[in-house]
Structure 1
Amino acid sequence: MEDAPVTPLPRIKLGSQGMEVSVQGLGCMAMSAFYGPAKPEADMVALIRRAVAAGVTLLDTSDSYGPHTNEVLIGKALQDGVREKVEVATKFGISFAADGRREVRGDPEYVRAACEGSLRRLGVDCIDLYYQHRVDMSVPIEITIGELKKLIAEGKIKYIGLSEASASTIRRAHSVHPVTAVQLEWSLWSRDVEEDIIPTCRELGIGIVAYSPLGRGFFTRGPKLVDSLSDQDSRKHMPRFQYKNLEKNTQIFENVNAMAVRKGCTPSQLALAWVHHKGSDVCPIPGTTKIENFDNNMGALSLKLTLEEMGELESYANVGNVQGDRYAQMENTWKDSNTPPLSSWKAE
């Protein structure tokens, strides 16, 4: 049976090393981890292939999702000729001990072992975009990037990315080898990156990949989202979804929803369109586990916003209006991701 024709989507350049991706990607985390129980594998493979048929080429995963099971899922979705149609992005740096404790590592031995593991689980010869998921604050970033540079030379990865890295860490990394993309949380209610991180990326010619562009589902369902979360869903413990904060944040959703009604779209389409309008170097990667939500997200691509509408949306969710941090514990985010100087490193 012949493959279904792929619908071309606009493509954007990520970074200055030649990587190009669809203007919107697909975040795959929730299919396997963190947002409740893992979803049925066959359904998720079908969803991923639906996205590829719709023209989405950037698939985003990590070895920590599961852990490991999300990469295995992506590997199965890549079979039957799908691999040649997509760019696969995965991440290393977060490992879990037997007792569930999280450890962040960026030492060369770990970087190499993590890459080999991801290649095996994904069933690919080369990872298109390989991110350091979180910055190891005990290892100079130059050491981590140096090992990634070797993996590029060996043909095991094509491009280097960073996630939740500070501006100074980005600069230091970029001086060792060009960074193609920085992944960060960017949405209507997560805009602190605009002060320093976004300008740094643009100064250096680094692409921007926006995760959780729908506020982890808040701009899809508003406060009703919380009522449907399982006990295994990490959002239950996030400050913005706690009762007192959520009560205040509800006004943000109601304002966005009112504009969406005026424009004849859904609030999630409006919130996602806002991210798209922030620049031609930005690729949002909304995640979903439902085909109808995926189709809804694709509708954001045809939505046009004026400068006045952009400003109105931003006024709804300015820093003073948003209640609660992104995470219950903000360690290992870009606000605290500086590493020791290179001169301090002594190889084992």
Structure 2
Amino acid sequence: MNQHIILGLWPIAGVTTIGVTRENAIATIHAAIDAGIRQFDTAYSYGLQGEADERLGAVLKDLDGPTRDEIQIIGKVGQRYGEDGARVNDGNPETLVVDAENSLRRIGIRCFDTLMLHCVDEEVPIEASAWALQRLMQRGMAKRVGVCNATPEQRAAFASVVPCSAIQCPLNGLQQEPLSNEIADAKEHDCDAWVYWTLMKGLLAGKIERDHVFAEGDSRPNYPIFQGAARERAHDIVDQLKVIAADTGRSVANLSISWAVSQPGVTAALVGAHRPEQIADFASAGPLPKAVRRQVNELFATSSDSQAE
């Protein structure tokens, strides 16, 4: 069982990932379980009609015995779709309760292992959102609760109402700021830190070439890291990661994810996939040997220095 990897189900929802099918999505979750992954991260907003929840639920129906008992489900509420189809943050207590109830129903379970506020709603005091999650926990619909995409100050405000057991934030070698901010704060307060974007939308997987042209509808070109000099620097780093990966018998993706889970305070990495053949590449990721970690740290530190100049 790999406790360092959580399968993130956003790609399986098929909203921004092109070519997702229900058959492949379900096969991907099964492949993750077969590979020893036991934690799955979903959300009310993962799919226009809750596709991630439904597909996870379809897999859970096929499981029984010890394997089913080992599965842990992370749910998130506080984000939904507006009338224009865009995702919006909604931290109103009434909305959080309804969305949690619907998400549980779609999955076919009675209780989340961890239920999280997906995003902070700037129009709603975070204490009010935390109160709603506390009520859901008291009703037996969540074993523990947490908050995603929050500053340390927001996490503290959330924790003033109900214990904050986990956070989610981005982290990869190109974006290390959370290590000294959200992750350090979580570590200080005995809080799990689950990190996403460990492959920076595939860039740190080593399979996107410098001249790659993204398909129409792919959202990745909109991110600054995929533009101009920032992308060139990223490709320079990936070229060096390929050398380290080859020397250590890893893929670049496995190396990048393993670097993330090797960082102090990081509990596990959220990694997405939507085809079963993608699972094997990262299912064995885990903390790096000290010598390899030092080598990758130096590479990323050099990159950070050059970007600061």
3-state SS, counterpart of residue 95 of structure 1: strand
- d(CA) in 1 for partners of 2:128, 2:306: 39
Query: Are 2:267 and 1:282 equivalent residues in the alignment?
Result: yes
1:291 Cα offset (Å): 2.8
Task: Name the aligned partner's letter for residue 142 of structure 2.
Answer: I
- d(CA) in 2 for partners of 1:41, 1:72: 10
What is the aligned partner in structure 1 of residue 51 from structure 2? Answer: 69
Q: Deviations over 1:285-317 (max 9, x none)?
A: 211123332111123338524253243233244
**Within-5 A mapping of 1:1-348:** 8-9=1-2, 22-37=3-18, 39-67=20-48, 68-81=50-63, 83-224=68-209, 227=212, 229-279=214-264, 281-301=266-286, 303-306=288-291, 308-318=294-304, 320-321=306-307
133-142 vs 313-322, greater mean Cα deviation: 313-322
3-state SS, counterpart of residue 300 of structure 1: coil
1:185 Cα offset (Å): 0.7
3-state SS, counterpart of residue 69 of structure 2: helix
1:105 Cα offset (Å): 1.0
1:104 Cα offset (Å): 1.0
Task: Name the aligned partner's letter for residue 286 of structure 1.
Answer: V
Distance 1:23 1:280, change over 3 A: farther
Distance 1:40 1:222, change over 3 A: closer
1:149 Cα offset (Å): 0.6
1:35 Cα offset (Å): 3.7
Q: RMSD over aligned Cα, in angstroms?
A: 2.2
Give every structure 1 segment of 4 or more consecutive aligned residues whose post-TM-superposition deviation is greater than 6 Å. none
Paired residues of 1:35 and 1:235 also in contact (CA < 8 A):
no
Task: Name the aligned partner's letter for residue 41 of structure 1.
Answer: R
33-42 vs 253-262, greater mean Cα deviation: 33-42
- d(CA) in 1 for partners of 2:306, 2:144: 37
3-state SS, counterpart of residue 284 of structure 2: helix
Distance 1:291 1:156, change over 3 A: same
1:225 Cα offset (Å): 8.1
Task: Name the aligned partner's letter for residue 297 of structure 2.
Answer: G
- Matched positions, count: 304
- d(CA) in 1 for partners of 2:177, 2:266: 18
Q: Deviations over 1:155-197 (max 9, x none)?
A: 0111112111001001111121111110111111121112221
Distance 1:81 1:189, change over 3 A: same
3-state SS, counterpart of residue 45 of structure 1: helix
Distance 1:101 1:46, change over 3 A: closer
* Gaps in structure 1 of 5+ consecutive residues: 1-7, 10-21, 324-348
Paired residues of 2:170 and 2:195 also in contact (CA < 8 A):
yes
1:138 Cα offset (Å): 1.4
Percent identity, aligned pairs only? Answer: 24
The TM-score, its normalising length taken from structure 2, stands at 0.90
1:103 Cα offset (Å): 2.1
Task: Name the aligned partner's letter for residue 32 of structure 1.
Answer: A
Task: Name the aligned partner's letter for residue 105 of structure 2.
Answer: R
* Gaps in structure 2 of 5+ consecutive residues: none
